[in-house]
Structure 1
Amino acid sequence: MRGELLICATRSMEDYAERVAYEMQTFPDFYGKGYNKQIRGELSTVTFADGEIEVELKTSIRGKDVFLFASAGRNPRNLSVEQNKLEMYHAIDALRRAQPGRITLFEPFCTSSRSDRTTRRNSVGFWVHYKTLVSLGVDHYITYQLHSDKSKTVVDPRVCAIDDVPGSPMLKEYITDNYIRKPEVLNGRVREEWFFCSVDAGGESVARKFARAFGTKLMIAHKQRNYDRTNAVESINILTDTPIEGKEVWIVDDMIDTGGSVYYLVKELKHRGVKTVNIAVVHPVFSDPATERLLELYDEGMLDRVVVTDTLGVSPEMQETIPFLEVVSSARLSAEIIMHMHEEQSLSPFFDDFDPRHYLSNLKLFL
C-alpha cells in the first residue's frame, strides 16, 4: 500500500470529489483497514486583479498518495475551459511542491481528447495537455472513455501511465436495471425488437459492443459532413440488413457535443418508421445548440429519453430543462478505482465489459 490516501479537487470538481469520498466511506472494509475518516484535502484558488491565479494547498500531503479530481468541462461554477485548465495546472504544481508520495490526476472527461491528430498545420490538444501534465509532475492519469484510442499513442508510461477506463459499462448496467430487469425480457423482446445504432462509422465499435452484450441487431449510421463549417452534417445513411420499421433503437456514443449528428439521425430513423428512439452516451458535453435540438426532438415525439453519466456537471436546472435526461452516477465506480489503485490491486475488472445475462442471473439469485 502507498502512503496515506488523500483526495483533492479543483473548484470544477469539488462536488464530484465529495460524492466519491462519501462512497469510499460506505465501503464495508473502509474503517477496518485503518483509513482516516478525513480523506479530503483542501485547495484554495486566488484570482488577482490582473487575472493571474495561484492555487494554495491547505493540507499537509508530504508522502501521501494524492488523487486530484479536475476537469476543464462544464461545471457548477461555470468556469471556462481556459480557467479550468489553468487552475488544474496550478493545482498540480502546488501539490508537487508539497512533496507527496504520488500524484494521480483523475479527469473523468478530457476536453481535449478529440484533438488527437495533426491533419494540417495545427496543434494537437491532447498532446499539449499530456505533456503539460507530465512536465508538472503527474505520476498517473485516469479518465473515462477517451474519444479515440489514437490519443493514447502519445503516452510514455515510463513517466506517466494512463488508464482510460470504459464508461459504457455504466450505461449498460443502468439500461439493464431500468429497462430490462428480467432474463426473459432480455431473451425475448430485447433480442427481437431492439437495435443499437452508432452515430457514425467511427462509433461502430461502441455500438457493436452494446449489440454484442445485449444480443441485439446492429445498425451503422454513415454521416457526410460539411467540412466548410464546424460541427455541420449534410446527410446520413443507415446501414443495416434488417427491417427497422416498428423497432426500438438505442443510439450510443461516447459523447454528445452540439447534437447535430444525433439530431439528423433521430429524424432519419423516425422517417423510416422506427417505433422509439433513445440515446445513451457517456459524456454529456451539450454545447449550444444541443439542448435546443434535443428538446425539439422530444417535443415532436421523435425522442423518448437520453441517458448520460455525470462525468461533466449536470445541474438540477439542466435536468429540469431536459426532463427526459437520465443521469447515471459514476462516483462509486471512481471510488472503487481509487481504492484498487491505492491498495496496488489490478484495475482489470474495470476494463471488463458488462454482461447483462450474467448480471440478471446473479440478481435473480438474491431476489
Structure 2
Amino acid sequence: MKVFSGNSNRQLAEAICAYLKVPLGKASVRRFADQEIFVEIQENVRGEDVFIIQSTSYPANDNLMELLVMIDAMRRSSAKRITAVIPYFGYARQDRRASGRTPISAKLVANLITHAGAHRVLTLDLHAGQIQGFFDIPTDNLFAVPVLTRDIKATYDLNNVVVVSPDVGGVVRARALAKRLDDRNLAIVDKRRERAGESEVMNIVGDVEGKDCLLIDDIVDSGGTLCNAADAILAQGAKSVTAYITHGVLSGGAVNRVSSSKLRELVITDSIQPSQAVLSAHNVRVISTAPLIGEAINRTALEESVSSLFD
C-alpha cells in the first residue's frame, strides 16, 4: 500500500499516514506558467495498491484536475489498484436536474474519475447518497457520525441534548446521530426558501425549550441557513445551539457570519483544509477524520469490511 496526496488537503493526508504508520508517497504536483497541472510520481508504484487523497474543494476545478492527472499518472505507471480517496466530493449538490437545460455535474465528475483510471472511490458523507450509483466502480461512502458522536459525548450532558435537523431532507442523518446518542429526542427546522442562497425559517417541530440543541448537517456553505435556524431555535427557548457539520465549505463571508451569530459553536471536520479565517474564529472548531479515513483505507487494502465501521 502506498498513499499519495494532491495539494487540496495535505494536512489531512499527513494525519492519515501517521495513523497508518506509512510515509506519504513522494509526488510532485505543480503548475506551468499558464497554470497547466503537471504531476510526477517520484517513487516506484508498479504493482502497488495506491491511494490518492484529494478533496475537490475550493478551487474545485483545480483540485479535481489534480486528482484526474494523478490517477492517470498512476495508471500509466502500472499501479495494481488505484483508489481515489475524496474526503469532500465537490459538485455533489448538482446531483439532479433541478430545472430544464441543466447538467447533472455529479455524474459527469464520476465519469471523469472512472475514465481517468480509478478502480474504486472512498468518500465521506456524500450530499446525496445516490451519487454512489453514478460510479461504475466500487464506491464506499463513509459517515462522520462516529467522529461527531465521540466529540458530543465528551462535551455535553446527554440528558439535556436534543438533535435538530436543519430541514426535512436531513432527518435521516439527524436520526442516525440521535440513535447513537442513546436515542435522544429529535427536532426539525421547517423552512421556506424564497430564492437561491436565502432561507426563511418558519417553524420548529419538536420540543427544544431549555435544551442544548445540536444542529446536524453535511455541508455549511454561506452559513445563512445555519444562523437563521439557530435564531429560530433560541426563539423557542433553547438553552444553546451548536452546529455539527461534516464539510466546512464556508465560502464568502460565512466565517464572519458564523462568528457574529448566536451559535455557541460550529464544529466541522477537516475533510476540507481549514482556512486561516476558520482557525482564527472564536466559535469554530475543527475535529479530525484522519483515524476514520485511515482505518477505512487500511481495511480496503486488507480486503476487510468497511461498512462494519458503522455497526
Q: Please report the TM-score for the alignment, with normalisation by the length of structure 1.
A: 0.80
Give the Cα separation in 2 of the matches to 1:61 and 1:20.
19
Q: Which residue matches 1:314?
A: 274
Question: Please, which of 186, 206, 222 is the counterpart of residue 218 of structure 1?
Answer: 186
- Larger of the two Rg values belongs to structure: 1
Check if 1:164 corresponds to 2:164.
no
Identity %: 29
Match of 1:260 in 2: 224
Unaligned runs of 5+ in 2: none
Structure-to-structure mapping, 1:129-278, within 5 angstroms: 129-156=109-136, 160-180=137-157, 186=158, 190=159, 193-214=160-181, 215-227=183-195, 230-240=196-206, 242=207, 244-278=208-242
Q: Residue 259 of structure 2 contacts residue 282 of structure 2 at CA under 8 Å; is this kept in 1?
A: no
Q: SS in structure 2 opposite 1:12?
A: coil
Structure 1 ranges of 4+ moved more than 4 A: none
Q: Check whether the contact 1:69–1:107 (CA below 8 A) recurs between aligned residues.
A: yes
Structure 1 equivalent of residue 102 of structure 2: 122
Asked if residue 15 in structure 1 is aligned to residue 17 in structure 2, the reply is no
- Residue deviations 1:57-104, cap 9 Å, x none? 111100000000011214xxxxx2221111111111111100001000
Q: Which runs of 5+ in 1 are unaligned?
A: 26-36, 75-79, 181-185, 353-367
Report Cα offsets for 1:126-179 as digits up to 9, x if no partner. Answer: 1011100111110010001101122223232xxx11000111221011111232
The Cα of 1:316 is off from its aligned counterpart by: 5.2
**What secondary structure is seen at the aligned counterpart in 2 of 1:269?**
helix
1:98 aligned onto 2:65: no
8 Å contact kept, 2:163–2:186: yes
- Give 2:9's aligned amino acid: M
Retained in 2: the 8 A contact 1:224–1:233? yes
The letter of the residue matching 1:58 is Q
**Alignment partner of 1:348 out of 292, 307, 311:** 307
Q: Tell me, in whole angstroms, the C-alpha distance in 2 between the residues paired with 1:116 and 1:317.
A: 30
Count of residues in correspondence between the two structures: 309
- The DSSP-based 3-state class of the residue aligned with 1:345 is coil
Aligned to 1:51: 35
**Secondary structure class of the residue paired with 1:11:** coil
Question: Which amino acid in 2 is paired with 1:226?
Answer: E
CA drift of 1:350 comes to: 1.9
How far does residue 317 in structure 1 lie from its aligned partner after superposition? 4.8
- Residue 263 of structure 2 corresponds to 303
